[in-house]
Amino acid sequence: MQYIYTKQRLEFGKQCNFTNYQKIEVDIKPHAGYMNHYIQVNPTTRATQCSNIYSVHEVNTNTATFKDNGMCHSEGGWPKDLNAKDIEQTMRYKRKIEKDELYIHTMLQLLPPMEQCISQNNVCNIYEQYFSYMEPVSLIQQVYSRTVNVYRDILPIKRQITHLSWSPDQGNRFAASYCNTDFKNAINDNSQSYIWDVENPNIPCVTLKPFCPILTLEYNPKDSNILISGLMTGQVACWDIRKGSELVETSSMEFSHRDLCNKVLWINSKTGTEFFSASKDGQIMWWDIRKLQMPTETLVIDLYKPDDQNINKAIGISALQFEPSMGTRFMCGLENGIVISGNRKGKTSSEKIATRFKAQYGPVISLERNPTFVKNFLTVGDWTTRIWSEDCKESCIAWTPGHRDFLMGGAWSITRFSVFFLIKMDGTLDIWDLLIQQDSPVLSVKVCDEVLTYIKPHEQGQLAAIANKKGTIFLLEFSKALTTNQKNDKVLFTTFLDRETRREKVKEAKSREQRLKMKSLRNINFENECPIGNIKNDEKNLKYFNNHNEILIHCEEDYENAIKAELIKEQKQETIVNNKCIINRETN
């Protein structure tokens, strides 16, 4: 960890001012006998510094990347008039040189030193290091991380960081959106967000000043000066750093979201000006920054009647994902735990949101595709994380065990495709590598004591920015074992995903067969015991339904009794432990 002081020396402490003071407190006379214990040295050397004395100064310059290039010249020295690519001309020129009288004498003079060089080259050098350009790779690589920098909110009232985004120009900067989501203590005066430089953790390089708090802030992947944001009022806004810290354009309130606009993502278009947004009101809107007054297209996530587009029955969107390599395909996670894989080119709303996955039991907090294997995606919610494949819609192919603390987000590693990160409510970062172990994380780091809210890995993979609830951003650096791929890692991870996908397909086929058998048996039993007729007037049918109700009541009573018995056992164990503790204290 490092901290750079940018203040002057006078600002650190109180300055000392000396004045003339005529009063003598103590007057100690010299003792003549003490001079016998010292040896006078003559001459005496003394140094004098005439210039001003300065403290140590350091200057950070931009890193320069050097690359060694070589060229192999195998044609030989040919005259300018001769075309080296023409075989006939080169053969004619060689015959002409060989017929020359001085050719033999010249070769006899050149051959002995050439033979000596060849013989020296063939001698085995026992001290030569072969393959020195290759770094030795240890069998067991170390897995670790360290905190590089810490970026703190400069305002006295600390606010939560809701989103992070790296700049596309080599990732030297990142944008952070600060927003107080606690409406009881919300203060609109402190709605500014920052753009930080990686090398300067003291002062943000750009301060964005909107008229209301920003929930999400995203860099344009083609232009590092343009950003888009989702506001607390449901509007979307566009920023241009070259024009200052104020908003360039904002969408109108009438055509914006009805709730907080918490998700915005850029679309891979030719102009590089299109993006889409999502909100908890259940709407997805596509925009163009050239005409930001109203959206170009709107989609309402109504799962019951998609074609009706009833916004009152729409389900809130809690996560949004877009893969540039997949064109018009997009994904969104809902508050009821369902993940929708949609296609913007669908003719109707039901075709746009046709594919559904029952991913989590609670809201889907994070949703992200694997950057290398785009068919597989990661969902984070409640206390578990699940990995899905688009070929299996009923169940996930891999999942993590249940965590004690609530999960706040997750992300794939951009460089190493088998690694993903999880942030938790207790301030811990878990790093999982599916090629090494699937039952526990390979590394667990205690980042801070506050709740972690967002994580964003760097494009090069070695760094990751992690934000917490108190407005602090931690920049972590990971070891090579977590950022680089080995030679056979891609093949191994491909076989792992294919094996798990095939296993889930077999399980899905078996479950369908069992459901069909059970359905057919129920129909047969119902036809035998409950013939067609007036059910209310038929005494047999009434007895049939009454018997089923009695069975359900007995099952519920047995379940409640089992729970009560378990609670009584736990209370007895607690009393026994407490009694033992009391006895130990008395004996001590």
- pLDDT at residue 534, as a whole number: 46
Tens of pLDDT, residue by residue over 162-176, are 999 999 887 788 999
Residue 358: pLDDT above 80? yes
Tokens for 134? Answer: 């290759």
- pLDDT at residue 430, as a whole number: 92
Can you tell me the distance from the alpha carbon of 530 to that of 67, in angstroms, rounded to the nearest whole number?
A: 83
* Band of residue 537 on the pLDDT scale cut at 50, 70, 90: very low
Residue 532: pLDDT above 60? no
Tokens for 493? Answer: 């991870």
Buried b (16+ CB within 10 A) or exposed e, 388-412: bbbebeebbbbebeebeeebbbbbb
Q: At residue 350, what are phi and psi to the nearest 5 degrees?
A: -65, -30
Residue 57: half-sphere exposure toward Cβ, Cα within 13 Å? 6
Is residue 305 within 8 Å of residue 314, measured between CB atoms? no
* Band of residue 421 on the pLDDT scale cut at 50, 70, 90: very high
Can you tell me the distance from the alpha carbon of 382 to that of 338, in angstroms, rounded to the nearest whole number?
A: 13
CA distances to 39, 205, 278, 553 from 542, in Å: 123, 77, 51, 17
- pLDDT at residue 182, as a whole number: 67
CA distances to 141, 193, 242, 253, 287 from 248, in Å: 49, 15, 10, 16, 15
Residue 187: pLDDT above 60? no
**Computed over its alpha carbons, how large is the radius of gyration of the chain?**
37
Q: At residue 378, what are phi and psi to the nearest 5 degrees?
A: -115, 135
- pLDDT at residue 67, as a whole number: 76
Residue 581: pLDDT above 80? no
- pLDDT at residue 521, as a whole number: 77
- pLDDT at residue 420, as a whole number: 92
Is residue 432 within 8 Å of residue 424, measured between CB atoms? no
* Band of residue 94 on the pLDDT scale cut at 50, 70, 90: confident
Average pLDDT over residues 203-220: 89
Give the global pTM: 0.64
Tens of pLDDT, residue by residue over 226-274, are 999 998 888 999 989 888 888 888 998 888 888 888 899 998 888 888 8
Tens of pLDDT, residue by residue over 544-554, are 555 656 777 77
* Band of residue 455 on the pLDDT scale cut at 50, 70, 90: very high
Residue 542: pLDDT above 80? no
User: What residue segments make up the domains of the chain, in order of their start?
Assistant: 145-505
Residue 447: pLDDT above 60? yes
- pLDDT at residue 586, as a whole number: 61
Average pLDDT over residues 115-120: 84
Q: Check residue 489 and report its DSSP letter.
A: H
Percent of the chain at pLDDT above 90? 9
- pLDDT at residue 264, as a whole number: 92
Can you tell me the distance from the alpha carbon of 492 to that of 478, in angstroms, rounded to the nearest whole number?
A: 22
- pLDDT at residue 544, as a whole number: 52
Give the architecture-level CATH label for domain 145-505.
Answer: 7 Propeller (2.130)
CA distances to 328, 340, 419 from 390, in Å: 16, 11, 20
> Which pairs from 226-231 meet CB under 8 Å and 24+ separation?
226/289, 227/165, 227/175, 228/264, 228/266, 228/275, 228/289, 229/177, 229/193, 229/264, 230/260, 230/261, 230/262, 230/263, 230/264, 230/277, 230/279, 231/261
Tens of pLDDT, residue by residue over 378-402, are 999 888 999 988 888 888 888 888 8
Tens of pLDDT, residue by residue over 472-530, are 999 999 988 888 888 888 888 889 888 988 888 888 888 888 888 887 877 776 566 55
* Band of residue 32 on the pLDDT scale cut at 50, 70, 90: confident
- pLDDT at residue 361, as a whole number: 86
Tokens for 424? Answer: 């938790």
Tens of pLDDT, residue by residue over 14-27, are 667 777 777 787 88
- pLDDT at residue 533, as a whole number: 46
Spell out the residues 6+ positions from residue 82 whose beta carbon is closer than 8 angstroms to its own: 89, 90, 93
Is residue 381 within 8 Å of residue 365, measured between CB atoms? yes
583 vs 326, more confident = 326
* Band of residue 59 on the pLDDT scale cut at 50, 70, 90: low
- pLDDT at residue 185, as a whole number: 53
Which run of H or E residues covers position 102?
A: helix 102-122
Residue 367: pLDDT above 60? yes
Tens of pLDDT, residue by residue over 132-152, are 655 555 555 678 888 888 998
Average pLDDT over residues 36-62: 73
Q: Where are the beta strands (DSSP E) in 180-296?
A: 193-197, 206-208, 214-219, 226-231, 236-240, 249-250, 261-266, 274-279, 283-288
